[in-house]
Amino acid sequence: MRTTFGTFNIATSGLFASQRSLDVTSHNISNSNTEGYSRQSSLQRATMPTYGDPTGVVGTGVEAYDIIRMRSSYLDQKYWGQNKTYQEWSIKQESLRQIEGIFNEPSETGIRKVMDEFFTSLEELSKKPGDDTCRVAVLEKANVLTVSINRNGQELLNAIKDQNFSIKNKVSEVNSLSEQIANLNKHIFGFELNGTKANDLRDQRNVLLDKLSSIVNITVSEMPGPNGNNYMDVKIGGITLVNHISYNKLTTQDKSVPGISDIGGGKISDVVWDGVQDQKVNIEGGELKGMLDVRDGNGTGFNYRGLPYYLSKLNEFASSFASSFNEQHNQGVDSEGNQGTDFFDESGTPSVNSVNFKVDPDILTNSNKIAAAALNDGESDNGNVNLLIALRKSTTMFPSVKGTPDDYIKSLLSALAVDSSQAKRMSTNSQVLVDQTENRRLSESGVSLDEEMTNMVKFQQSYNASARMITTLDAIMDTTVNRLGLVGR
């Protein structure tokens, strides 16, 4: 037969178990707004019963044997895989929006508008070839055209420089996150050697992995270790970034790129593994992937159409337009009776591009050098200026596009619109998937204050009941010890 003290121990175990559950509930409520926190739950079970009592097996109470975090590794892996795609296309969408702002079409300051005004000034000159006012107007409109193209070209170069700088910053951020993850792995491993769970430290590590997955494609795995503990391994493109408590660094390696570095774009940085010469990092997603595609995409083959593509197209426009216009201008005669010279300056090095495209200084300071006449027939001849105007309808000026100068710009803007629309669509679609997965993670791991308040009341009632049981047992013991056998005395 059980003693009263045995029942007292049962009530005490219930008191302690309820206290542990209230501790966990309080911890959940306190961290309801903590980033990445996973709801925790105290697990209880009946303790080992006693045998040998002829009246039957009697329980010995309850014990809180573990505190678990409500987290799905499947949803985490799914989130990391989807997040890299969303962040990649978000970067591309933002960058293409920036390129659209650079071209600013259609507008009163766009290339199509200023080019139209340039040819309109030539038409006015054809009506009055000897009028100095018309000649000066042609030079002013030509200068506006070159300055507009220069501005667009320089802005594209600046955007490439900005992307290159951002890539370097992201590489530093990856290294910092890798170091923090390795340090947390060390603390988690040491904390869990005795079989306990480092739930809060694991939450902190998951927050870092979420951030890392937004920057670069990662593969995360936990391998079994001693005492049931796991070793964490994080890889990028099949190569280990974090190996439990150690990590490998990324770095950048500068190189010159034709068409960018030689016109003022500076050197371009490749992302490589530190300590391994020329070993590029296989980046397949995340913000780094978006930045690299935007910075390096030249549109050749199946490559992405990024900043270099639009810069090269603008360079081609400036070079071909200057060459064709100069070729025709050289065949004319200026108002002083001299053979026409280059209207646009082609003497610089490198060859004409969107950054150095400009009106020849000799003509810019002397409008009489505009070769409007086809023959040396005086001021009234407009034969050559009419041929210059005809270039507006020429469809053989550009090697990559069969169309007029206006058609060339329209095709460039059309490609930009298509790319921008695709980036917006991909970003929106991938965001929907990320949000769905994040909502599923929150439904499983997030803290519901209503649910925690319900649990608090439940565990409070359980605690009060156990305390009441102890009070009752105390009264029973008082009667047994102090009053039993006193009746009738």
Is residue 118 assigned to a domain?
yes
Residue 252 lies in a domain: yes
Based on the fold, state whether residues 137 and 198 are members of the same structural domain: yes
125 and 232 housed in the same domain: yes
Could you tell me if residue 52 is inside a domain?
yes
What is the C-alpha separation between 64 and 364, in angstroms, rounded?
89
- For Cα atoms 244, 249, 255, give the angle at the middle one, nearest 5 degrees: 160
Residue 413's contacts (CB-CB under 8 Å, 6 or more residues apart) are 103, 105
Do 227 and 119 share a structural domain? yes
Is 469 in the same domain as 404?
Answer: no
As a whole number of Å, the end-to-end CA separation of the chain is 30
Q: Are residues 135 and 36 in the same domain?
A: no
Q: Is 475 helix (H, G, I), strand (E, B) or coil?
A: helix
Identity of the residue numbered 329: H
On whether residue 341 sits in a domain, the answer given is: no
Q: Is residue 371 part of a domain?
A: no
DSSP-derived 3-state class of residue 7: helix
Check whether residue 31 and residue 93 sit in a common domain.
Answer: no
Judgement on whether residues 398 and 436 belong to the same structural domain of the protein: yes
- Residue 438's SS3 state is helix
How far apart CA 333 and CA 167 sit, in angstroms, is 53
- Total domains present in the chain: 2
Chain Cα centroid distance, residue 277: 27
Task: Identify the pLDDT of residue 3.
Answer: 63
Residue 158 lies in a domain: no
C-alpha to C-alpha distance for 196 and 205, rounded to whole angstroms: 17
Could you tell me if 203 and 82 lie in one domain? yes
Sign, CA dihedral 71-73-78-79, equals positive
Q: Is the pTM of this model over 0.85?
A: yes
320: in domain: no
Residue 229 sits in the same domain as residue 281: yes
Would you give per-residue pLDDT tens digits along the chain (489 residues)?
456 677 888 888 999 999 999 999 999 999 999 999 999 999 999 988 876 666 667 788 898 989 999 999 999 999 999 999 999 999 999 999 999 999 998 888 889 999 999 999 999 999 988 888 999 999 999 999 999 999 999 999 999 999 999 999 999 999 999 999 999 999 998 888 877 889 999 999 999 999 999 999 999 998 887 666 788 899 999 899 999 889 999 999 999 998 888 888 889 999 999 987 778 999 999 999 999 999 999 888 778 999 999 999 999 999 999 999 999 999 999 888 888 899 999 887 778 999 999 999 999 999 999 998 887 665 568 889 999 999 999 999 999 889 999 999 999 999 999 999 999 999 999 999 999 999 999 999 999 999 999 999 999 999 999 899 888 888 888 787 787 766 555
The whole-angstrom separation of Cα 283 and Cα 290 is 10
Do 177 and 236 belong to one domain? yes
Q: Which strand (E) or helix (H) includes residue 135?
A: helix 132-191
| Residue 343 placed within a domain | no
Q: Are residues 45 and 173 in the same domain?
A: no
Domain that holds residue 251: 72-144+163-305+392-445
What's the pLDDT score for residue 478?
Answer: 78
Q: Please report which helix (H) or strand (E) contains residue 68, including its range.
A: strand 62-69
Look at the chain and count its residues: 489
DSSP letter, residue 250: E
Q: Are residues 428 and 454 in the same domain?
A: no
